[in-house]
Amino acid sequence: MRARGPALVLFGPALVWGLAIGVGSTATVLAPGPWRAIDLHGSEYVGDDDCRECHRGNWDSWHRSYHRTMTQSLADDGPGVVLAPFRGEQLVTAGFVATMDRNAQGRPRLRVHAEDRPQVPLVDAVVTLAVGSHRYQQYVARIDRGGGEGELWRLPVAWHIGESRWIHMGSAFLEPDPSPGEASEYLRHFSRYNDNCIFCHNTEPVPGLTAQGWRSEVAQWGIACEACHGPGEAHVQRHGAPLR
């Protein structure tokens, strides 16, 4: 009588794995439209954490990039989000004084007034978002100028990272300097974030103008995986199937 025990011990696991692979492949082939391109209409954004599990190398590369830190919310304030000191520095430009300090709660704040009218604030705002982390960092604040509490404005000064100093936003563009004492020229780059900056610096931006004011949303702050690849929900569901 021929002994079969050793053969089962040696080849049994291989047979089990082979059977599992065969069943999985068959299920994939027979699944409706397994090779068809995913229709992204109606698919939801899932965030970069769901990409990391299967695409760790790509995720690590992206995580080291300036894309990830293109826009950061101070609501998620961690070490290194705000690169400027905000310790009472002042910048005088075209007859206007900008003071960068912190409020009683320690939040970064910008106050601007004309040199000859210190009691009349031109800008007085607490920073909500930080934009940029490579060459210079801009700051955004909630300022209701008729658009409700969700209205966001890019502030007129920025932190030059390479030179560790404040600059007026006009210095970041090739254009004439603002005329002394002209508030409209000083505020030339004091622009609404909701329908301007939000588009290029975030993932799936929605300006969200309503009858009640601005209700802007993003799928994720900064330029994340889905900014280029589109919403990942359907992709995650397909490739998360146990037999794939």
pLDDT tens figures, 179-200: 999 999 999 999 999 999 999 9
| Same domain membership, residue 200 and residue 176 | yes
| Same domain membership, residue 74 and residue 41 | no
The share of the chain scoring above pLDDT 70, in percent, equals 80
Enter the tokens of residue 165: 């100093």
Q: pTM (2 decimals)?
A: 0.81
Percent helix, strand and coil across the chain, each rounded to 5? 25, 30, 45
**Spatial separation of the C-alpha atoms in residues 5 and 15, rounded to whole Å:** 15
| Same domain membership, residue 194 and residue 94 | yes
- Give, for 96, the enclosing helix (H) or strand (E): strand 96-102
- The reply to whether 6 falls in a domain is no
| Same domain membership, residue 38 and residue 79 | no
What is the rounded radius of gyration, in angstroms, for the C-alpha atoms of the chain? 27
Residue 138 forms beta bridges with which residues? 131, 158
| Same domain membership, residue 123 and residue 29 | no
**pLDDT tens digits, residue range 81-122?**
999 999 999 999 999 999 999 999 999 999 999 999 999 999
Enter the tokens of residue 66: 């300036």
Enter the tokens of residue 33: 């439209």
Domain count, the chain: 2
- The reply to whether 50 falls in a domain is no
* Domain assignment of residue 27, given as a range: 11-45+230-239
| Same domain membership, residue 87 and residue 208 | yes
- The reply to whether 1 falls in a domain is no
